[in-house]
Amino acid sequence: MALGEHIRQQLAAKALQRRLERTTEAAAASGTPVAEVAGTESARSRFEAMPQYQQVRIMREMGETLRVASPFFRVHEGAAGATTQIGGREYLNFANYNYLGLADDPVVAARAKAAIDRYGTSASASRIVAGERPVHRALEHALAAFYDTDDCVAFVSGHATNVTVIGALFGPGDLIVHDALAHNSIVQGAQLSGAKRLSFAHNDWQALDELLTRTRRDYRHVLIAIEGLYSMDGDHPDLARFCELKERHGAFLMVDEAHSLGVLGASGKGIREQCDIDSNRVDLWMGTMSKTLAGCGGFIAGCQPLVDMLRHFAPGFLYSVGLAPALAEASLAALECLLAEPERVVRLQARGRQFLTEARAAGLDTGLSQGFAVVPVITGSSVKAAQWANALFDEGVNVQPIFYPAVEEKSARLRFFICSTHAPEQISRTVIALSRIAGVAR
């Protein structure tokens, strides 16, 4: 690219970035009553005037101005694992959560198909009304045993699990404190609850200690919400420190294991195994079935009173259809495979270490990653993230960019999800290609 064209693109990108930031701020501050405009404008024009749509429009303009094709919503034509088919071409794939290769495992698939034959494709009702099936309780009992807890309750969505559980258990007069990089579902749940919400610096248990020392006495119940493995950065907290804090300050501790179940620990039992922590020191074990467990949905494992309350009062369970039996069976089968075949976890961890080691040796910025299933490569700008993703796609590598406003502009990145089914040569090939693309961009 000529120097003049490069400068023009950078100036255009910065101008559009400023517009996007202003629009994002406007979206947060917007409060114009609908009644003021509803009588004079069509629904289409009112939707187009919303700050959220303006953000979408500006992002499209950015792509057109910089001649960067959108890397999103590409159609995958089969099961996605270490490789995938897009547009009739095979790609190395680093854009899926099939960490242990169980989503397309023949045993798991056969169990799901048999469940369809027995139960049909839907539970067809909320479980409390008429949607309960034996496979639901079998999955919950297996997860409770896996976490060494009294019981477990499964929900139809991982995101909704955090939203409805936090929203149902806590309210005005309570405090929810979460890691600054916590998943959107934790933040949404805290907002829904009506409790006071505060965040602390990422993985900084000392900052949390100071925060609770100042505020704990002002609130009835306090929830500390952290993650087992952070999906943007690929690092994990010092769980022992957070357990000690929750015990000393009389708080509840919730650990979101969406990305750490099957990934951390010698046998894949998550962050408690990684950090050698007794399960009962954590009050709410949250996880999803859409990653390691090859299905869809979420769960909470914990003591019996907690699970009883959620079964009877969590809106996302009480008023939602039960988990599709085939998905419940698939996740149960995947959990059994995880327990029976720990070598899958060993391979996954080896591949993650390889990617991190080779990327760092190539001079790529991998941020905070500890080399498990998630390795970001920081590009430093949204434009570079999109350009690098598209350049890799041209070379047969599928990876997704993450850019503003999902992360700060200076933290824009490519996010690589590693699977146990990736071959060592596939990882090396990808790092070499990315290093070459990054070198040209510099």
Per-residue pLDDT reduced to its tens digit, 63-109: 777 667 778 888 999 998 999 999 999 999 999 999 999 999 999 99
Summarised one tens digit per residue, pLDDT across range 174-229 is: 999 999 999 999 999 999 999 999 999 999 999 999 999 999 999 999 999 999 99
The SS3 of residue 138 is helix
CATH code of domain 83-97+342-441: 3.90.1150.10
Q: What percent of the chain has pLDDT over 90?
A: 81
Instruction: State residue 35's pLDDT score.
Output: 52
Summarised one tens digit per residue, pLDDT across range 308-340 is: 999 999 999 999 999 999 999 999 999 999 999
**How many whole angstroms separate alpha carbon 386 and alpha carbon 63?**
9
Question: Are the C-beta atoms of 205 and 237 separated by less than 8 Å?
Answer: yes
Q: How far is CA 216 from the centre of its chain?
A: 29
Domain limits, the chain: 3-65, 83-97+342-441, 106-340
DSSP state of 76: B
Instruction: State residue 442's pLDDT score.
Output: 44
Instruction: State residue 263's pLDDT score.
Output: 98
Instruction: State residue 233's pLDDT score.
Output: 97
Instruction: State residue 298's pLDDT score.
Output: 98
Instruction: State residue 293's pLDDT score.
Output: 98
Question: Are the C-beta atoms of 314 and 164 separated by less than 8 Å?
Answer: yes
- Residues that are catalytic: 231, 259, 291
C-alpha dihedral (93, 179, 270, 403), degrees to nearest 10: 0
**How many whole angstroms separate alpha carbon 408 and alpha carbon 262?**
29
Summarised one tens digit per residue, pLDDT across range 185-199 is: 999 999 999 999 999
Q: Please report where in the chains the tokens 């990876």 appear, as a residue.
A: 399
C-alpha dihedral (161, 163, 164, 169), degrees to nearest 10: 110
Q: How many CA atoms lie within 13 A of 365 on its CB side?
A: 13
Who wins on pLDDT, 270 or 73? Answer: 270
114, two tokens? 């048999």
Summarised one tens digit per residue, pLDDT across range 399-423 is: 999 988 788 889 999 999 999 999 9
Instruction: State residue 404's pLDDT score.
Output: 80
**How many whole angstroms separate alpha carbon 340 and alpha carbon 334?**
10
| pLDDT confidence bin for 4, thresholds 50/70/90 | very low
Q: How many residues make up the chain in this entry?
A: 442
Q: How far is CA 386 from the centre of its chain?
A: 20
Who wins on pLDDT, 406 or 369? Answer: 369
Instruction: State residue 52's pLDDT score.
Output: 87
| pLDDT confidence bin for 163, thresholds 50/70/90 | very high
Who wins on pLDDT, 409 or 355? Answer: 355
| pLDDT confidence bin for 3, thresholds 50/70/90 | very low
**How many whole angstroms separate alpha carbon 142 and alpha carbon 137?**
8
Average pLDDT, the chain: 92
315: preceding bond cis by omega (within 30 degrees): no
255, two tokens? 């650990």
Can you tell me the mean pLDDT for 272-280? 98
Instruction: Indicate the class that CATH gives domain 106-340.
Output: alpha beta
13-27, 47-61, 113-127, 290-304 — which is least confidently predicted? 13-27
**How many whole angstroms separate alpha carbon 182 and alpha carbon 60?**
28
Per-position DSSP letters for 232-283, written without gaps between them: TT-----HHHHHHHHHHHT-EEEEE-TTTTTTSSTTS--HHHHTT--GGG-S
Instruction: State residue 2's pLDDT score.
Output: 44
pLDDT at 49 over 80: yes
Instruction: State residue 6's pLDDT score.
Output: 47
Who wins on pLDDT, 39 or 253? Answer: 253
Q: What percent of the chain has pLDDT over 70?
A: 90
pLDDT at 124 over 80: yes
Instruction: State residue 328's pLDDT score.
Output: 98
